[in-house]
Amino acid sequence: MIPKRTFDAVIVGGGGAGLRAALQLARADLKVAVLSKVFPTRSHTVSAQGGITAALGNVTEDHWHWHMYDTVKGSDYLGDQDAIELMCRNAASAVYELEHMGLPFSRLEGGRNAGRIYQRPFGGQSQRYGGEQAVRTCAAADRTGHALLHTLYQRNIAARTQFFDEFFALDLVRDAEGYILGVVALEIETGEAWLIEARATLLATGGAARVFRHSTNALINTGDGLGMALRAGLPLEDMEFWQFHPTGIPEVGCLMTEACRGEGGYLVNRQGERFMPRYAPHAQDLASRDVVSRAIAEEIEAGRGCGEHGDHVCLKLDHLGAALIQERLPGIRDLSIRFAGVDPVHEAIPVTPTVHYMMGGIPTNLHGQVVAPVRYGPEEPVPGLYAAGECACVSVHGANRLGGNSLLDLVVFGRAAGEHMIEYLRENRYPRALPRSGVERALERLARWDRPGGDERVPRLREDMQRILQRHCGVYRREDLLEEGIGKLDAVGARLADAAIEDRGRLFNTARLEALELENLLPVARATLVCALARAESRGAHAREDYPARDDDHWLRHSLYFLAGDQLDYKPVRLKPLTVEPFQPKERSY
C-alpha cells in the first residue's frame, strides 16, 4: 500500500473556490488539506483582471434583483434561477467579507461615496431589468483575481489549512456504496503516490479551456477534476457551452479584459467603424460576450477584419488618455506592449474571440454537493463529494456567463460548499473502510506511463486535439463539422493507446504530468463535441448555423454526458427562484 495521510476534508485545487471552501472548514477547527498541482497563488484565479460583480450601488443605484435579472437573461434562460438568486442575493456580503479579510479594492474618489469600493461598468449589466447600464463590478485595478487569491491564501495560512503544494491528484477513491473517501495523488517533486484519505472531498480544479488551441487560460487548465468525475462514473453537465471572450490577443490568447470597454474603450473594424451599435443598439460594446464575439466573427467573415490577413478587429483605448489607462488598466498596457507589440496609449490593440470559460462542469446542488441521476431516476447527492468554482456547474451561468460573475461564483459557492461539508462531517463522524480497488486503478494510470510504447507522443496528440476543437467547435457550429470533429477525435483517442513518454524518471517528471493531463483533456473534448452535436438549437454561447433559433420547447434543459458509451441524458432547468417570482424566458436582445 502507498503512504497515507488522513484529514477530515481534502480540497483538490488552490484557486479562489478551493481556498474559500478550505477557509470555512479550517475556521471550524476541522483538519483540512488543500492539494494543488502548482503553488496555490499560481492558480488561474490570479490572472482574473476585471473584477467581481455585486450590486453595492456605490456608483449607480442598484439592487441584487436587477443583477439576478441580468444573470438569468445573460444565461439565455438556461441558468437555474434558485442558484442565481442565491448568488446575487449573497454577492454584497461576499464582497464585504473579502474587503474585511483585507482585499485591497480600488476606491472611489470624490462625491458622496468617496472611499468606498470602486465599481466599473461590465457587459450585460443593467439597472431596472434591462434599462440603463449598471456600474456593478468591484475591482482592484485590473488585477482583481491577484488581490483575491493572495488575500484568501493568507487567511488560510492564518487558519492553519494544511497545503500540499505541487501534488497532482490522479483519481477519486470510491467505495462500493458510492461514498467518496479521498484521492490518490502524485507528489510531483519525488514521483511518489500518496493516498489522501478524507470523509469529504471537494473538487475545485478550475477550467479546461486547454482543450482548444487558442485560449486565455493558463497551461494548467486541463480539466483534471472533470476527468476524475467522469472516470468515477459521474456525468458532466452542459459541456457544449464554452465562452469565447471577444478580446483575446490573436494567436497568443492573452486576455484584454472587458474592463477595457467598461472604462470607455470600443471595437473598430478595418474601416475604422465602431461596429457594435449595428449589432446591439442599446448596450453596444458592453453587450453580452456571446453577442460581441459573434459580431466580431461576422465582421471578419464579411471581409472587414483588420491586419494583413483580415483575421481580427481592433480595440481602441487611446482616446481614454494615458493617465486613466495607467491608473485603471496598468496590467493591460503591459500585456499589450509585451504580447501584441502595441502601446494602447497610442494605438489600437488587435483582438479576436478567444476561448475563455467553461459554463458546464460537474453538476452540483446549491450546497456544492455533486449530484448524479440514480439509474436514470431523479438526481441525488454523491456522498462525500463536492465541487465548486469553474469545474462545477450549479448552474448560475447557464449558456453564457456575464463578466465578473465567476469570481463571485467562487466565493459564494466555495463558502456554501464549506458550510455544508462541516454539517456532513458532523453527521459522518467515522471513516469508512478503504477499498483496495479504487487505489489500484489510480496507480495503474501512473504505471501505464512507465511502459515503453510506440511512436506517438503526448504533445503531438494534444495539439491535434486542440486543432480539432478549434476548427470543429468554434464560435459557430454545424452538424457536418461537429460529426467530422468527433471522427477525428476518435482517431486521436485511438493513437493515445500507442503513446509513450521518453523521460520515465521519477523526479519532477513534467512529461508524465502532461500525459496524465491529456487523459483528462480528451474526455472533456469528447463531451464538448457530443453535447454540441446533440443540441439542435442556438442558445447563449452555443451558436448553430443549421439551427439559428433558440428552441425552448425542446431544449430548455441541461445536457448530462456520461463517459460510458458516450451516453447523454437531460434534466430540466430550475426556473423557480427561492423567494422571488421567476423570470420567464423571452427573446434576448441588448
Residue 283: CB minimum distance to ligand FAD, A = 18
**Amino acid at residue number 249:** I
Cell digits of residue 339: 504580447
- CA pair distance 30, 215, nearest whole angstrom: 38
Contact status: 247 vs ligand FAD (CB under 6 A)? no
Task: Give the nearer residue to ligand FAD in terms of CB position, either 81 or 247.
Answer: 247
Peptide bond into 538 cis (omega under 30): no
The closest residue (CB) to ligand FAD is 15
Contact status: 205 vs ligand FAD (CB under 6 A)? yes
The binder of ligand FAD chosen from 410, 461, 486, 543 (CB under 6 A): 410
Cell digits of residue 99: 474587503
**Crossing angle for the helix pair 479-496 and 510-534, to the nearest 10 degrees:** 150
Cell digits of residue 192: 511518489
The binder of ligand FAD chosen from 37, 89, 199, 550 (CB under 6 A): 37
- CA pair distance 185, 398, nearest whole angstrom: 32
Q: Which of 289, 457, 544, 588 is catalytic?
A: 289
Q: Is 338 left (phi over 0), alpha (psi -120 to 50) or beta?
A: alpha
Estimate to the nearest angstrom the gap between the alpha carbon of 14 and the chain centroid: 14
Interface segment toward ligand FAD; rule CB under 6 A; list 406-414, 419-427, 450-458, 467-475: 406-414
**Amino acid at residue number 435:** P
Q: Is 207 left (phi over 0), alpha (psi -120 to 50) or beta?
A: beta
Residue 264: CB minimum distance to ligand FAD, A = 17
CA nearest to 576, candidates 65, 67, 82:
82
Peptide bond into 395 cis (omega under 30): yes
289 carries an active-site annotation: yes
Taking the chain, what is the end-to-end CA distance rounded to the nearest angstrom? Answer: 59
Contact status: 57 vs ligand FAD (CB under 6 A)? no
* Count of residues of this chain found to bind ligand FAD when the rule CB under 6 A is applied: 46
Task: Give the nearer residue to ligand FAD in terms of CB position, either 217 or 559.
Answer: 217
The binder of ligand FAD chosen from 9, 25, 30, 43 (CB under 6 A): 43
Contact status: 151 vs ligand FAD (CB under 6 A)? no
Restricting to residues 163-192, name those near ligand FAD by CB under 6 A. Answer: 167-169
Contact status: 365 vs ligand FAD (CB under 6 A)? no
Task: Give the nearer residue to ligand FAD in terms of CB position, either 169 or 501.
Answer: 169
Task: Give the Cα-Cα-Cα angle 466, 470, 471 (nearest 5 degrees).
Answer: 120
Task: Give the nearer residue to ligand FAD in terms of CB position, either 334 or 551.
Answer: 334
Contact status: 407 vs ligand FAD (CB under 6 A)? yes
Contact status: 349 vs ligand FAD (CB under 6 A)? no
Decide if 339 contacts 254 (C-beta within 8 A). yes
Task: Give the nearer residue to ligand FAD in terms of CB position, either 44 or 526.
Answer: 44
Contact status: 201 vs ligand FAD (CB under 6 A)? no
Per-residue binding letters, 490-529, with ligand FAD (x by CB under 6 A): ----------------------------------------
Residue 483: CB minimum distance to ligand FAD, A = 30
Cell digits of residue 26: 479550517
Interface segment toward ligand FAD; rule CB under 6 A; list 233-241, 298-306, 398-406, 432-440: 398-406
Contact status: 21 vs ligand FAD (CB under 6 A)? no
The binder of ligand FAD chosen from 10, 14, 118, 124 (CB under 6 A): 14
Dihedral pair phi/psi, residue 297, rounded to 5°: -60, -40
Interface segment toward ligand FAD; rule CB under 6 A; list 220-228, 265-273, 347-355, 361-369: 220-228
Distances (CA, A) of 523 to 492, 535, 573: 11, 18, 25
Task: Give the nearer residue to ligand FAD in terms of CB position, either 389 or 485.
Answer: 389
Cell digits of residue 517: 493531463
CB atoms within 10 A of CB 496: 16
The binder of ligand FAD chosen from 15, 182, 353, 384 (CB under 6 A): 15
Neighbouring C-alpha atoms within 13 Å toward the C-beta of 535: 37
Contact status: 577 vs ligand FAD (CB under 6 A)? no
Distances (CA, A) of 399 to 89, 282, 546: 21, 21, 18
Give the footprint of ligand FAD on this chain (CB under 6 A): 12-18, 35-38, 40, 43-45, 47-52, 144-145, 167-169, 204-207, 216-217, 220-221, 224, 255, 357, 389-391, 403-407, 410
Query: Active-site residue numbers?
Result: 289
